[in-house]
């Protein structure tokens, strides 16, 4: 199993290298009336606060839960208005019937849902929503020479793939989220966007991926140099909105 503590060891690089979530996703949350000032949110697996910061900017009161001590320290430094709990989301001592929304942004695949979902369910108000989203790096609808190299690197690995449902598959994710009967799906949205990265940015970003080793990261960066020094990466982001049942 890939070690989730990898992210804490990469805390400073993680903060700088990870791209933000697309504006279209935030606009969708606003259109759904979920970013209303004064509401209370809990951000699960908050990292350095990419989602926490936007929630605070929208006027929400935010409790951020992050198990990595280094990540949590950066989170608190970046967003002092947030209440930070250093804990696994499954173990966090959350007040009951308190939060209007619970957010898991590119983090739910690291969590034990049988432990997590009862905790989140109890912490949400009766009309509360669970919001799960993630960035997916690479869009198969936009093949590029760089992405061909990335697929070749991954295919050459000797070890088995990560166990369990495909963490990048929105359908596989929402089916797991409703399995306990504690939540039901309201809607699933997908957003497509792009970003231009140079070789150093690719090296920094790919080094934060928990299943990439140093040699693989260098191969990816070299592919950018071979492509002329920069690549246009086509990304997808999906959003799952669930109601507490």
- The tens digit of pLDDT for each residue in 127-141 reads 999 999 999 999 989
**Lowest-confidence range among 55-64, 155-164, 219-228?**
155-164
- pLDDT tens-digit profile of 23-33? 999 999 999 99
Largest CA distance in the chain: 54
**DSSP-derived secondary structure letter, 1:** -
Phi, psi of 198 (to 5 degrees): -95, 180
- pLDDT tens-digit profile of 101-153? 999 999 999 999 999 999 999 999 999 999 999 999 999 899 999 999 999 99
Measured CA to CA, the distance from residue 231 to residue 45 in angstroms comes to: 30
Residue 10: predicted pLDDT:
72
Tell whether the model's pLDDT for residue 12 goes beyond 80. no
Find the length of the chain: 245
Domain boundaries, the chain: 6-138+161-194+236-244
Residue 18: predicted pLDDT:
85
**DSSP-derived secondary structure letter, 37:** T
The set of residues, in sequence order, having a beta carbon less than 8 Å from that of 137 and lying 6+ positions away, is 205, 233, 235
> Which CATH code for domain 6-138+161-194+236-244?
3.40.50.150
Strands (E), the chain: 40-44, 61-65, 83-85, 99-105, 124-137, 183-198, 230-244
Measured CA to CA, the distance from residue 10 to residue 217 in angstroms comes to: 14
Residue 4: predicted pLDDT:
54
Measured CA to CA, the distance from residue 201 to residue 44 in angstroms comes to: 26
Phi, psi of 98 (to 5 degrees): -115, -40
Q: Which residue has the higher pLDDT, 11 or 137?
A: 137
Cα 82 to the chain's mean position, in Å? 18
Residue 16: predicted pLDDT:
78
- pLDDT tens-digit profile of 182-215? 999 999 999 999 999 999 999 999 998 888 999 9
Tell whether the model's pLDDT for residue 159 goes beyond 80. no
Q: Which residue has the higher pLDDT, 11 or 61?
A: 61
Q: Which residue has the higher pLDDT, 160 or 26?
A: 26
How sure is the predictor about 1, in pLDDT bands with cuts at 50, 70 and 90?
Answer: very low
Classify strands 124-137 and 230-244 as parallel, antiparallel or unpaired.
antiparallel
Average pLDDT over residues 26-50: 97
Give the whole-number percent of the chain exceeding pLDDT 90. 83
The set of residues, in sequence order, having a beta carbon less than 8 Å from that of 67 and lying 6+ positions away, is 4, 8, 45, 86, 87, 88, 89
Residue 14: predicted pLDDT:
73
């Amino acid at each position: 199993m890939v070690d989730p503590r990898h992210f804490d060891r990469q805390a400073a690089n993680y903060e700088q290298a990870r791209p933000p979530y697309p504006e279209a996703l935030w606009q969708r949350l606003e259109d759904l009336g979920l970013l209303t000032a004064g509401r209370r949110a809990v951000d699960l697996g908050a990292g350095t606060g990419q989602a926490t910061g936007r929630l605070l900017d929208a006027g929400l009161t935010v409790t951020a839960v992050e198990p990595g001590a280094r990540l949590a320290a950066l989170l608190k430094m970046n967003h002092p208005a947030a209440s930070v709990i250093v804990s696994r989301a499954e173990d966090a001592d959350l007040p009951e019937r308190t939060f209007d929304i619970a957010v898991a942004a590119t983090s739910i695949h690291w969590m034990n849902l049988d432990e997590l979902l009862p905790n989140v369910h109890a912490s949400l108000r009766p009309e509360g929503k669970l919001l799960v989203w993630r960035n997916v790096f690479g869009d198969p609808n936009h093949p590029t020479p760089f992405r061909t190299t990335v697929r070749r690197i991954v295919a050459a690995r000797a070890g088995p793939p990560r166990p369990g449902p495909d963490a990048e598959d929105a359908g596989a994710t929402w089916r797991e989220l409703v399995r306990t009967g504690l939540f039901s799906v309201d809607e699933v949205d997908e957003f497509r966007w792009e970003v231009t990265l140079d070789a150093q940015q690719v090296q920094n970003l790919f080094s934060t991926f928990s299943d990439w080793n140093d040699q693989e990261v260098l191969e990816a960066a070299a592919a950018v140099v071979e492509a002329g020094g920069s690549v246009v990466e086509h990304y997808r982001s999906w959003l799952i909105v669930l109601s507490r049942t």
